[in-house]
Amino acid sequence: MFRVSVRGKFRDLTDDQRTALRSGLEAARTAFTPEGSFSSDAGLAVFTFRIQLTPESDDEDEDDAGLRALAALDATGYPYEVIKIAATDMRTIKIPSKRRRA
């Protein structure tokens, strides 16, 4: 599982796009979802797009996941400029075991 966060700036949004984004932001929760979710400032200038992706193959890496996240962001139809992409391969996260105390 990959969790990808894309930080960016919206560019030249139409009034309809602004309205759709505002209504979506009011109803949305900030989380990594398979569909992707937006969080943004009130002026819709900058945003964070979070998405959770299932690996397509065992050798898929964070760069591949970042490209897939950009494709999902492109599919929203909102014009944007990327500031930063951060991808985490959750398969590599080690969770320490809790040791019982005697």
Residue 97, in any domain of the structure = no
Check: CB of residue 65 under 8 Å from CB of residue 89.
Answer: yes
Enumerate the β-bridge partners of residue 7.
Answer: 48, 84
- The domain of 84 spans 2-92
CATH of the domain at 79: 3.30.70
> Distance of CA 95 to CAs 8, 56, 98, Å?
31, 24, 9
> Which residue type occupies 8?
G
pLDDT in tens, 21-42: 888 776 667 789 999 998 998 8
Check: CB of residue 99 under 8 Å from CB of residue 38.
Answer: no
Residue 32, in any domain of the structure = yes
Average pLDDT for 1-18 = 95
Residue 99, in any domain of the structure = no
Residue 100, in any domain of the structure = no
Task: Give the residue, 69 or 24, on which the prediction is more confident.
Answer: 69
SS3 of residue 81 by DSSP: strand
Residue 46, in any domain of the structure = yes
Number of domains in the chain: 1
Residue 13, in any domain of the structure = yes
Residue 38, in any domain of the structure = yes
